[in-house]
Amino acid sequence: MSEKSECSPFSAEGLVAGHHVLDFTNTLAGWGSESPVDSLDDYISLARWSVDAGVMEPTLADILVMKASLESEEAAAALDSARALRTLLHHVFTAFALGEEPSYDDMESFEAFWRQAIAAHRLAFEGDHIEIRPAAFTSLTIIADLITRDAVDLMKTMPDKRLHLCANDDCGWLYFAQSPAAEQRFCGGKLCLNGEVGRIK
């Protein structure tokens, strides 16, 4: 993947993965291309994506956007961190999709995100059970923390043989097939809906 990428507004039509953690990795279109397109061009786009993907409530996302406008440097750092998390998750889940073991370096880096996410949560008693809740919904890192938490849960309960990497080499999107036996080779995302699939042999 090229180090530089174009920016494009996120569209809810890009939510094709079957799980918001994978949809988060798919906010970059064209992992294997020379000109990938990034939907997360600023913190506002990250907040909007979090609402569309069901990660954050609209009112909470609005608070984050307002805070980001007042704390621009912190927002930029949070966005950079979220993008780094996205790259790690793409590496890790791609390995899972290919039946391989994630690299030690990737898992070590992801563990650092996990430790940060755990530190940003607290235990709360609700009814007759314990819940893990964010300690502060107004932290600019809360979106990445929630995704990290949910990514760990997903890794523990991965549906058997349903995780796929799009067969379009330029695409790189991840998605869950409807069943282990489903013959779905392409994700149905941006590149694959724009005629790129037809070029693949």
Which amino acid is it at 175?
A: Y
What's the mean pLDDT in 156-176?
A: 85
> What does pTM read for this prediction?
0.84
Structural domains for the chain: 6-199 (1.10.3300.10)
Provide the token pair at 31.
Answer: 């992992």
Among 48-62, 109-123, 183-197, which stretch is predicted with the lowest mean pLDDT?
A: 183-197
Q: What is the pLDDT of residue 16?
A: 82
Mean pLDDT, the chain, rounded, equals 84
Mean pLDDT in residue range 141-146: 95
Query: Using an 8 Å Cβ cutoff, are 201 and 29 in contact?
Result: no
Closest CA to 201 of 172, 174, 168, 173: 168
Q: What pLDDT sits at residue 50?
A: 96
Distance CA 123, CA 112 (A): 20
10-19, 80-89, 135-144, 151-160 — which one is most confidently predicted on average? 80-89
